[in-house]
């Protein structure tokens, strides 16, 4: 389970996959979070193939994989919080 893999099985859920006011959290240089950020985005890209509700948010976050910073991690964490509250959504192929 993707939520357990990254430690988000016990977090509060979010109603939307992306914050409309300030999607990137606090602006600033922040620290590098390359390995974790890229790992989380990779898992979300795999999941987005059957979850069109998170596709835009995941692709927007994927743009920052070249130089990921902690401020961009805020948006990725929100996607995981959204997934926590919307586990049963997705495409189903009979």
Residue 59 belongs to a domain:
yes
3-class DSSP assignment, residue 32: strand
Residue with tokens 């890209």: 45
- pTM for the predicted model, two decimal places: 0.83
Total of domains in the chain: 1
Could you read off the pLDDT of 1-34 as tens digits, one per residue? 889 999 888 899 999 888 877 666 665 565 667 8
- Is residue 35 in some structural domain? yes
Asked if the structure places residue 94 within a domain, the reply is no
Determine the structural domain holding residue 38 and report its residue range.
2-9+27-85
Residue 67 lies in a domain: yes
Average pLDDT of 29-40? 81
The answer to whether position 15 is within a domain reads no
Across the range 50-56, mean pLDDT stands at 94
C-alpha distances (whole Å) from 11 to each of 45, 46, 47, 62, 81 are: 21, 22, 19, 23, 7
Is 66 part of a structural domain of the chain?
yes
DSSP H helices, the chain, are: 2-5, 34-48, 52-62, 70-85
Chain CA centroid to CA 61, Å: 7
């Amino acid at each position: 389970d993707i939520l357990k893999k990254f430690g988000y099985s016990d977090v509060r859920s979010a109603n939307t996959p992306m914050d409309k006011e300030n999607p990137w959290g606090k602006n600033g240089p922040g620290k590098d979070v390359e390995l974790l950020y890229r790992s989380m985005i990779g898992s979300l890209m795999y999941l987005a193939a059957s979850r069109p509700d998170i596709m835009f948010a995941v692709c927007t976050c994927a743009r920052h994989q070249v130089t990921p910073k902690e401020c961009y991690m805020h948006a990725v964490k929100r996607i995981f919080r959204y997934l926590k509250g919307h586990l049963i959504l997705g495409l189903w192929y009979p």
